[in-house]
């Protein structure tokens, strides 16, 4: 029989609107849904997530928010999902890569220096949403893919796990129930799918 943890397990979620759950109730955000799934899977000592995220943040803005935060590790699980606003604002990839790498390094530091406790989540494709109806959806998708190449490469170089939610985000093109009321951000249902994708990786980390 497994003994109870000697202290609560801690989860830090870093990101932007996709992590803060723009347009859904707090309990419907993907980090909160992930905690629910992890507790059901056996991580009974897992606390509610600590979230540093805000709608519209780019990599440099997230870094500044971390600087200003009083949150301190170590955390048993850290997630990092950032970059969509860099793409949206037309920021270059050669600026994004070092900023993302620095955020990944800080994520590892928050995880007690253990990169194996960090999960990097891919950038969703907002180009398939109703919000992008008058934009070049193909170009948006290509740019998102280019940013995700950087995200995947840096995760591998840094020793962090990588979870692809981009593929499932693109099902919103044919599934209106996957998009929230603002026509841009995911619905609680799609966030659930993201949490289910992250679940096996997070469960292995916390095991």
Q: Where are the domains of the chain?
A: 11-206
Which residues partner with 161 through β-bridges?
A: 119
**Distance between CA atoms of residues 25 and 203, nearest Å:** 24
**Distance between CA atoms of residues 108 and 74, nearest Å:** 9
Which residues, in sequence order, are CB contacts of 173 under 8 Å at separation 6+? 128
Question: Would you say the pTM of this structure is higher than 0.85?
Answer: yes
Gyration radius (Cα) of the chain, Å: 16
- What does the pLDDT profile of the chain (207 residues) look like in tens digits? 444 446 799 999 999 999 999 999 999 999 999 999 999 999 889 999 999 999 999 999 999 999 999 999 899 999 999 999 999 999 999 999 999 999 999 999 999 999 999 999 999 999 999 999 999 999 999 999 999 999 999 999 999 999 999 999 999 999 999 999 999 999 999 999 999 999 999 999 999
* Topology adopted by domain 11-206: Rossmann fold (3.40.50)
- The SS3 call for residue 118 is strand
């Amino acid at each position: 029989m497994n003994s109870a943890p000697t202290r609560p397990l801690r989860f830090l979620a870093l990101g932007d609107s996709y992590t803060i759950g723009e347009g859904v109730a707090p309990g419907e955000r993907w980090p909160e849904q992930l905690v629910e799934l992890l507790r059901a899977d056996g991580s009974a000592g897992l606390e509610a997530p600590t979230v540093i995220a805000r709608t519209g943040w780019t990599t440099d803005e997230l870094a500044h928010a971390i600087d200003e935060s009083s949150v301190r590790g170590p955390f048993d699980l850290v997630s990092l999902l950032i970059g969509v606003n860099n793409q949206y604002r037309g920021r270059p990839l050669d600026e994004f890569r070092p900023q993302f790498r620095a955020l990944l390094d800080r994520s590892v530091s928050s995880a007690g220096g253990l990169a194996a406790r960090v999960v990097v989540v891919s950038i969703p494709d907002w180009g398939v949403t109703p919000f992008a109806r008058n934009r070049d959806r193909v170009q948006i998708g290509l740019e998102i893919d280019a940013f995700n190449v950087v995200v995947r490469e840096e995760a591998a170089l840094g020793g962090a796990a990588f979870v692809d939610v981009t593929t499932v985000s693109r099902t919103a093109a044919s599934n209106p129930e996957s998009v929230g009321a603002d026509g841009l951000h995911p619905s609680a249902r799609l966030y659930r799918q993201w949490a289910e994708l992250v679940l096996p990786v997070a469960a292995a980390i916390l095991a």
